[in-house]
Structure 1
Amino acid sequence: MPLRYFIKNAGLINAAGTEAIDFLNRMSTNDLRKFGADEFRKTVLTTDKGRIVDLVNVLNTKEGVIILTSGDFQDKVISHLEKYIIMDDVSLKKSDRNYVMISIFTEDPVKTGKDLFETEINKGRVCLINNEDFLFTDEFRVMTLNIVCRSENLLKYKSILKDIKEIDSDEYDYFRIESGIPEGKNELNENINPVECGLERYISFKKGCYIGQEVIARLDSQSKIPKQMVKLTPEGQVFCEDKIYDDQNSECGFISSVAEMNNKFLSLGFIRSTNLDFERHYSTENKNGKIKLNILKIN
């Protein structure tokens, strides 16, 4: 796979206080208890009903604990977390600087990091580069090397990446959907729980309580996931929020993301587990008429 990269806004929250890590451990799905300096963890913030607030990266740096949110979710995340701060020694502050994330898609993020920045970066570690920006790898669905930098430093990194193709938002959306990556308000919202969109790897079923834990644990123990995220190849133009119907014409889901490339549409959607069968036929209906949907499993 040739190297490519995409730039998007990154939300950054500084979490200060001696109990910041412990607090975030109690607020989110992943186990943050054994969390050393210069490490990062992906974790899901959920409501008390087990629905997604955001999928975040927590960076435990020497400069302090940093929460990386989806692009413009900082205010939403702070509002959610501050409801639960009572006696905890923790404070949250949205960064007064603008940040972007440069995601480099590569089969070997460690080698790419060494080639570009002469930096040894290991899985689960975060490196400080240029004394103010961050570098770390990600393995969710696709192998990625991420640079989180101040907006004013972007041109410097684009110069370093001059021999790598930058993809635009349409190309990125198609690639993201093709890879089965849930993102932003489309899939990471309070209508969805983490298990429904494939975030199980960021859920600890062994640690203690966290907000939403009871609901998520019950879904896991009973193996009763209400709906599941699938990939769709529509045979025509479709739109976000279009309803999905099974071969008995029963409404059973909805489309959450849509991308088009070379007149081919690709989508992510959610189908109720009781209606999901990869051998069945599905369709949607919009202003373009009735459109057949081919569904695929997300690996």
Structure 2
Amino acid sequence: MILPGFPAQTIFITNHFNPLYINAMKQTFLIGQIRIIRVRGENRHDFLNRMTTNDLRNPGQKEVIPTLMTTDKGRVIDLLWYLERNNEGWLITSPGMSDIVYERLDRFLFPLDQAELILEETVHDLTISINQPAHQTHQWCENEGQVAWSVNDWFPGGEMRLSPAFLQEDEPLSEHEFHLLRIRNGTPWTQFEMNGEYHVQELGLLWAVDFSKGCYPGQEVVARIYNYEKNQRQAVLLHWKNAGEHGSPAELITDGKPAGVMTSVLKTDDGHIGFGLVRERVIVSGGELSLLGGDGTKIPMIYQPFPIRHPRGINKKASF
């Protein structure tokens, strides 16, 4: 269902996960800058495998593996992309997260691990191209100094590009346009959703988890929630007409009781949209949802759950 307020001048594209609204003229956005974390040593795969959620023990040639760094309570710190290049591993973090991820990995690295972490001094631009990827999903390719790969699981229809300098092929999306797309698409973002506060399941990131592998920080919590279907909240798209100013995070209520949290908010031509995490019992019952304004007023909201993105190898119980 398309909620009120979606601009008419968009192309409607569907794929196997979720509708994606794409501006017809602007398709490239400079997400930010990162420093690559290079991982060397014969046991680098085993080390990274026990530090993140996906199976990194045997990466294929030119394969890109999405994986999560989580807290001991199974809450997402960052979404990482791992690839092998020139006989070493590359970890691609979100913008602003390179130092945080490196320091957390380094804290758990010991001489017996036979692995080495190197945080590059060189800064790289990370861009996303909002179109249907031409190359095979989960494979990276290289062209004129750029490394590119599909991020279709995370941002349907998107292709990530890593380059020493931003090569502006199209008129770039503004920051407002990019976040408009990613909120409407249900894509969690660093600092707003991926900040160590919210669980893997409620952010819809199970596709970056392998439930057959061994331990990693937070593994028992992630497995328990999945096995016993204990997820309490689901990601939703929020929309309301109020013209005031709103910040995030902000509490969501139903019948005067806490119902969830709005993690991202963006002003539009006819109101606001937001990324919210709402209790499943409210969604199942079709309960009314409101945002509690700064002056205590209740602002009615329309909400639409995002499609649930299941893990690969679905329908097998997680190991503890």
TM-score by length of 2: 0.82
Mapped contact 1:278–1:295 kept (Cα < 8 A):
no
Kindly state the Cα deviation for residue 274 of structure 1 after the two structures are TM-superposed: 4.0
For 1:133, the equivalent position in structure 2 comes to 146
2:192 and 2:272 mapped to 1: Cα distance? 16
State the Cα deviation string for residues 10-67 of structure 1 (Å, max 9, x = none): 4221112222222111111112223123221111111221111211111211252111
Could you tell me which residue of structure 1 aligns to residue 203 of structure 2? Answer: 197
* 1:243 counterpart residue number: 251
CA contact 1:195–1:225 (8 Å) conserved in 2:
yes
Secondary structure of 1:194's counterpart equals coil
Does residue 103 (structure 1) correspond to residue 128 (structure 2)? The answer is yes
Q: Is the 8 A contact 2:261 2:278 kept in 1?
A: yes
Pick aligned residue for 1:261 from 251, 258, 268: 268
**Structure 2 residue 136 is the aligned partner of structure 1 residue 122:** yes
Q: Tell me the CA shift for residue 73 of structure 1.
A: 0.6
1:65 is aligned to 2:89: yes
Identity of aligned residues (%): 24
Matched, 1:214 2:211: no
In structure 1, what is the equivalent of residue 277 of structure 2?
A: 270
Amino acid at match of 1:293: M
Aligned to 1:171: 177
Contact 2:43/2:114 (8 A) holds in 1? yes
RMSD after superposition = 1.8
Residues 104-132 of structure 1 deviation map (CA, whole Å, 9 limit, x = unaligned)? 1113x11xxxxxxxxxx3221112322x4
The structure 2 residue matched to 1:181, chosen from 178, 182, 187, is 187
The gaps in structure 1 that reach 5 residues or longer are 111-120
Q: CA deviation at 1:298?
A: 0.5
Kindly provide the CA deviation profile for residues 85-143 of structure 1, in whole angstroms up to 9, marking residues without a partner as x: 12211222222111111211113x11xxxxxxxxxx3221112322x431111212411
Report if aligned partners of 2:59, 2:83 keep a CA contact under 8 Å in 1.
no
Tell me which residue corresponds to 1:118: none
Listed one character per residue, the Cα deviations across residues 177-226 of structure 1 (whole Å, up to 9, x for unaligned) are 00000010111121111111001111111122222111111001110013
In 1, Cα distance between equivalents of 2:43 and 2:143: 27
Q: Give me the TM-score of the superposition, normalised by structure 1.
A: 0.87
Runs of 5+ in structure 2 lacking a partner?
1-10, 12-23, 308-320
Q: Partners in 1 of 2:195 and 2:294 — Cα distance?
A: 26
Partners of 1:201 and 1:242 lie apart in 2 by: 27
Alpha-carbon distance in structure 2 between the residues aligned to 1:290 and 1:209: 44
Q: Which amino acid aligns with 2:258?
A: E
CA distance in 2, matches of 1:241, 1:27: 28
Which of 138, 155, 159 is matched with 1:145 structurally? 159
SS at match of 2:50: helix
C-alpha distance in 1, partners of 2:33/2:62?
A: 19
Secondary structure, counterpart of 2:273 in structure 1: strand
CA contact (8 A) 1:10 1:68 kept: no
